[in-house]
Amino acid sequence: MPRDLLTATLKKGSLRFNELTVLVCLVMGTMRILMGVLRFGFIADFISVPVLSSFVSGAGCVVGGGVCSRDSSGCAGQAS
């Protein structure tokens, strides 16, 4: 996802693009760890179960679709 957001402003594959992609991922990971340590998980209690399950399912579809689009064998899991 961060890579998609950065492609709107920077040329994909450039050094600056790669640096910013890594920086965004590190910042998001740090925020996630910090929220876990500070016990901010209770916020998820205010979101309904169907919304959370739909979000997780959607994230899985995005990841799966990204893998399939890069796989020349059509997600068969075999190299061509």
pTM for this predicted structure: 0.51
Residues 24 and 2 sit within 8 Å (Cβ to Cβ): yes
Residue extents of the structural domains in the chain: 1-38, 45-72
Between 79 and 43, the higher pLDDT residue: 43
pLDDT band per the 50, 70, 90 thresholds, residue 27 = very high
CA of 79: how far to CAs of 24, 67, 68, in Å? 32, 13, 12
Average pLDDT (48-64) is 86
Q: What is d(CA 61, CA 58) in angstroms, rounded to the nearest whole number?
A: 5
Nearest to 52 by CA among 41, 63, 64: 41
Instruction: Map tokens 């075999």 to a residue.
Output: 78
